[in-house]
Amino acid sequence: MPAMPPRAPRLGLVAAAFAILAGCSAVDGASRRITDAITPYKVEVVQGNHVSKEQVEALQKGMSPEQVRQILGTPLVTSLFHGERWDYVFTLKRQGVDQQRRQLTVFFKDGSMDRVEGDPMPSEADFVSTLDNRRKGGKIPKLEATEEELRRFNANKPAAAAAPQPAASAPVSASYPPLESAPR
């Protein structure tokens, strides 16, 4: 007859397992509080064509599609069903900033630009200023050294060891052996 282990150690193991499982809910709650406090990095998403106010002002009625493409770039959306319409859509998603979305539609009639409809576009300077997300008031590091600082740096620098000179060797032959072995 096999020997049965005493009952007390088995009960102790069961009690320990329940204690560990009960502790998991406390750990889960703590980990949830930590993840709520730490926000992950979110990638900035830029999609489409940014069209500036200056580009829209450069458009003129009667331009060819190629001239419009040179000013605005290739449209994000072209349709086989609406060949006389180009859509320029731009979206920018950034952490902590409202999503920017702008749309511009260029209509063509008989092979030339007829009209432009869409959102008011920002100037290049306005758009660039919205991209700057650096903290204001940060100290700009000094990027130049004075002559005195350069002298101190060079004085603290150990003397450069003389570079070893290559030993004099036999002159190098200008002819090389053949790449393939001679036929036998």
d(CA 77, CA 114): 18
Full residue range of the structural domain in which residue 67 is found: 45-131
pLDDT tops 70 at residue 24: no
CB atoms within 10 A of CB 38: 7
d(CA 51, CA 180): 62
Identify whether 29 is part of a domain: no
pLDDT tops 70 at residue 116: yes
In the chain, how many domains are there? 1
| Model confidence band, residue 45 (pLDDT cutoffs 50, 70, 90) | confident
Identify whether 173 is part of a domain: no
Query: Helix (H, G, I), strand (E, B), or coil: what is residue 42?
Result: coil
For residues 42-58, average pLDDT: 85
Q: 53: which residues sit within 8 A by CB, 6+ positions away?
A: 120, 121, 122, 123, 124, 126
Identify whether 81 is part of a domain: yes
- Segment of 4-13, 107-116, 160-169, 171-180 carrying the highest mean pLDDT: 107-116
pTM of the shown model: 0.49
Identify whether 179 is part of a domain: no
Residue-averaged pLDDT of the chain: 78
